[in-house]
Amino acid sequence: MKLQNIILLVSSYVFYGWWDYRFLILIAASTIVDYFVGLQIYKAEEKANKKKWMLVSIIFNIGLLGFFKYYNFFIDSWVESLNLLGYTVQNSWALHIILPVGISFYTFQTLSYSIDINRGTLKPTTNFISFAAFVSFFPQLVAGPIERASNLLPQILNARVFTKRKIASGVKLMIWGFFLKLVVADRAAIYVDAVYNNVENHNGISFMVATVFFAFQIYGDFAGYSLIAIGVAKLFGLELMVNFNRPYFAASVGEFWKRWHISLSTWFKDYVYIPLGGNKSKKGRYLFNLFITFLISGLWHGANWTFVIWGAINGLYLIAETLMFKKKRSGLINIAITFVLINLTWVFFRANSLNEAVHIINDMFTNFGFPYVGGRDDITAPIYTLLAISILVLSEFKREFFNSYVSAPKRIKPVATLFRYSIIIFMIFYLGVFGNSQFIYFQF
C-alpha cells in the first residue's frame, strides 16, 4: 500500500507540474496546512481551540482561492463602482495573475476535510503520504469530482486489488466519456463559438440553436471529463462518486441541481446551505439561504458578473418553485419546461459579457430570421452536431426510462457490449473533433 501511494503521489505531482511546476507549491502548501490543521483540531479539547484551528484552514484556503481567482475581479468592480459615482479612479492595483488549474477543486476538497474533522464526523489520518495522494489524485484533480475524504481517503489508506471487472468498467466509462467530449462537446463548440463570439451578426433563432448546442456542449464536456476521471480511477482500484445523473431529464430546477455536478451541489449543501440554517429556518430565511447558496455557487464558477447573475437566476428559480409547487413534479412537459429554463441561464454562463447576454436574450424574443448554419465549407457541422446530440439523448432516454426493463440476453450480452462500444469508438474517430481544445471547467 505504501509503495502504491508513493507512485500515485509522484504521478499526480508530475501530472500537475507538467502544466506549470510553480503551482506545485500551492497544492503542497494546501496539503501541508490542512494535514496539520486536521491533527490539531482533533487533538484540541476545548471548542475555542478547535475553532481557532478551523479558522486557519478557512482563511488559508479561501484566501488562496480568493487571491488567485477573485483579486482582480473585486479590484475592477470597486474601480468601476467609484467611476460610476463620479470619482475618476485609475486601476493601478490590478495584477497579472495566472489562475492555477484545479485550484477551485482541491481547495474545496482539503477544506471539507478540516470541516468534517471539526464536526466530529471524520478522524484525521496520520499518514501524510496517503493524505497528499488524496488531495492531488490526478484523474479528478483539475476538474473534479470534488471528493470527500470520508469516501476517497479510506480507499487510499488501504491496499488496492486490481480486478478485470474494474478495469473493464473503467475502460467503458472512459470510452463514453471521450464520446461526450470529442463528439458531442467539441463538435457543438464549433457552432456555439461561431455565434457567441460574433454576437452582432446573428439573430434570435441562431442564438436559440447555439444555446441549446451549448447546453449539450457543457454537459458533454464536463460529464465527459467526470466519466474519464472515474474510469481512470477504477484502473487504480479506486471508486469516485458519480458526478452527473442525466440532468436534462430533470422535471424541475431543484431536481436538475440534484443531478448536475453532484459533487459540487452536495458540497454547497453540506458546507454552505445547511450551516446557514438550510430549510430548518423560518420560510423567509430558508429562501434567503437558497438564494445566497446559489449566488456563491455562481461566483465559484468564475470571477465575472455573468456567473454571479447565472447563480442568482438559479436561486430565484428555486425560490419560485418552493413558493409555487408543493409536490414533486414529473412528466415530459415539466422536463421540457425545465430544459428551457436552464437554457436561459446558460446564456449568462456562456456570454462574454453581461451586455452581450442581455442582447442575446432580447434577440431570442424579438429578432427572428434564418439561423446561421456554418461557413460555406462547413455546412455539415450543425448536422453532425445534431446527430451526436441525438445519439446522446436516445442513449440517456433509454437509461432513464427503460434501462431496468430492456437488456440483452445473458448469453449474448458480451457480444452486444463489444459491438456497442466498437460503434462508439468508430464514431469517436469519425465524428470526433481533435485539436487543442481544453475542458471548459479547467478555467474554474
Planar angle of CA 204, 206, 210, nearest 5 degrees: 115
Planar angle of CA 347, 353, 356, nearest 5 degrees: 65
CA distance 414 to 420: 10
Planar angle of CA 223, 228, 234, nearest 5 degrees: 125
Q: Which of 240, 244, 254, 307 has its CA nearest to residue 77?
A: 307
Segments in 137-203 forming alpha helices (H): 138-141, 149-157, 164-178, 186-196
CA distance 417 to 408: 9
Active-site option among 96, 202, 261, 301: 301
Query: If DSSP codes are grouped into helix, strand and coil, which group holds residue 242?
Result: coil
CA distance 83 to 65: 27
Q: Are 424 and 173 in contact (CB under 8 A)?
A: no
Q: Measuring CA to CA, how many Å separate 313 from each of 223, 317, 356?
A: 22, 6, 17
Q: Are 110 and 31 in contact (CB under 8 A)?
A: yes
Q: Which of 93, 17, 26 has its CA nearest to residue 64?
A: 26
CA distance 27 to 213: 35
SS3 content of the chain, % helix, strand, coil (to 5): 75, 0, 25
204 φ, ψ (degrees, to nearest 5)? -60, -40
Provide the phi-psi class of 329: left if phi over 0, else alpha when psi is between -120 and 50, else beta: beta
Cell of 119: 464536526
CA distance 174 to 186: 16
Active site residue 301: yes
Q: Which helix (H) or strand (E) holds 28?
A: helix 24-43
Q: Are 10 and 137 in contact (CB under 8 A)?
A: no
Q: What letter would DSSP give residue 200?
A: G
Provide the annotated active-site residues.
301
